[in-house]
Amino acid sequence: MSALPPVVDAETWQRQLDDLRKREKAATRELDAIAAQRRHLPMVEMPDYTLEGENGPTRLVDVFDGKSQLIVYNHMWSPGEEWQCGGCTSLTSQYTRLDFLAKYDARFVIVTQGTIEEAVAYKRKVGNTMAWYSTANSPFGADVDAPAGGGFAVNVFLRDGDTVYRTWHTNGRGTEQLAYTFALVDVLPYGRQEEWQDSPEGWPQSPTYSRWSSSQEIAALYGKA
């Protein structure tokens, strides 16, 4: 392995680590401030949507399963395809233990534009354990910025009795904060090894996404197919 960081004495290493730590701490405080601003956001009332669940039609208010807060991952979907979005499949494969959200009066579910039959079959194939719902026969997906043929998204909702409100939305790289994979890879000496990253000369770099696990690889690791 020819690409190596320079070797220095322990004092020099600690001094540079301390400099970096100042920026890391500043970033932590900024994330705290962003979270605070998120908690101060207003919200918008949602119509009374009906989605398709594994056990039949389900009102959006009932997707909360009695909780007051709901996180929805809107999964990209290509009708009739054997393998769906690799990024969505990889991200959602991380969410294997979600019961802790009950302590926060919250639930996490997947919603897709695919039919419920396709969605449930894919869920099992790739090893997901959370509840999946279909919005194929509802305008819900389009109304929360995840239309048919569109990208992925994360939406958060709050329930007050039978009334549901939308409180937050993100997509693109905004979803990275919900994944542990990038956090782990980013602390490695070589990072993500993608071409767009600012890395020292000689560091291994590959085309963007080329090191991401494919849907087939996720299914082989975790699924039941």
Average pLDDT rounded to a whole number, residues 163-190:
95
| Residue 39 belongs to a domain | no
| Residue 101 belongs to a domain | yes
Of 68, 71, 72, residue with least CA distance to 105: 68
- pTM, two decimals, is 0.94
| Residue 196 belongs to a domain | no
Whether the predicted pLDDT of 205 surpasses 90: yes
| DSSP result, 12-72 | HHHHHHHHHHHHHHHHHHHHHHHHHHHHT---EEPP--EEEETTEEEEHHHHTTT-SEEEE
- CATH number of the structural domain spanning residue 61: 3.40.30.10
| Residue 148 belongs to a domain | yes
| Residue 200 belongs to a domain | no
How far apart are alpha carbons 74 and 194 in whole angstroms?
Answer: 26
| Residue 7 belongs to a domain | no
| Residue 116 belongs to a domain | yes
Average pLDDT rounded to a whole number, residues 52-70:
97
User: What is each CA distance from 48 to 60, 91, 155, 217, in whole angstroms?
Assistant: 7, 29, 16, 38
| Residue 90 belongs to a domain | yes
Average pLDDT rounded to a whole number, residues 147-166:
96
Please tell me the total count of domains within the chain.
1
Whether the predicted pLDDT of 199 surpasses 60: yes
Whether the predicted pLDDT of 225 surpasses 60: no
Burial (0-12, 13-18, 19+ Cβ within 10 Å), 116: buried
Average pLDDT rounded to a whole number, residues 139-154:
95
Domain that holds residue 141: 44-176
Q: What is the mean pLDDT of the chain?
A: 95
Whether the predicted pLDDT of 139 surpasses 80: yes
